[in-house]
């Protein structure tokens, strides 16, 4: 008899949990996606720049000046008409 009571209680608990999760899961997801959307909008406002603005993210530290001898072979050519 104790085994039947235990099985009945386990089934009853699973049934109650299933129904509670069915009600709470959409609410939790709605809150989670709402927070994600707010974060995305905040990031967009921080990174969005007005049209026509220019920003330089990288500047090389040293300028490399090439030597004409190291740049390659120069081939003379004549234009044929």
Task: Examine the pLDDT at 69 and tell me if it is beyond 60.
Answer: no
CA distance linking residue 18 with residue 47, whole number of Å: 43
Residue indicated by tokens 């004409």: 68
CA distance linking residue 17 with residue 7, whole number of Å: 15
> pTM above the 0.85 mark?
no
Task: Examine the pLDDT at 71 and tell me if it is beyond 70.
Answer: no
End-to-end Cα spacing for the chain: 108
CA distance linking residue 29 with residue 37, whole number of Å: 12
Q: What length does the chain have? A: 81
pLDDT digits (tens, 9 = 90+) for 17-32: 999 999 999 999 999 9
Average pLDDT, the chain: 84
pLDDT attached to residue 76: 83
């Amino acid at each position: 008899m104790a085994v039947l009571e235990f099985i009945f209680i386990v089934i009853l608990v699973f049934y109650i949990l299933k129904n509670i999760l069915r009600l709470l899961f959409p609410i939790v997801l709605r809150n989670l996606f709402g927070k994600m959307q707010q974060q995305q909008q905040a990031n967009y406002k921080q990174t969005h720049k007005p049209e026509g603005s220019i920003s330089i993210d990288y500047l090389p530290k040293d300028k490399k000046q090439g030597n004409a001898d190291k740049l390659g072979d120069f081939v003379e050519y004549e234009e044929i008409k």
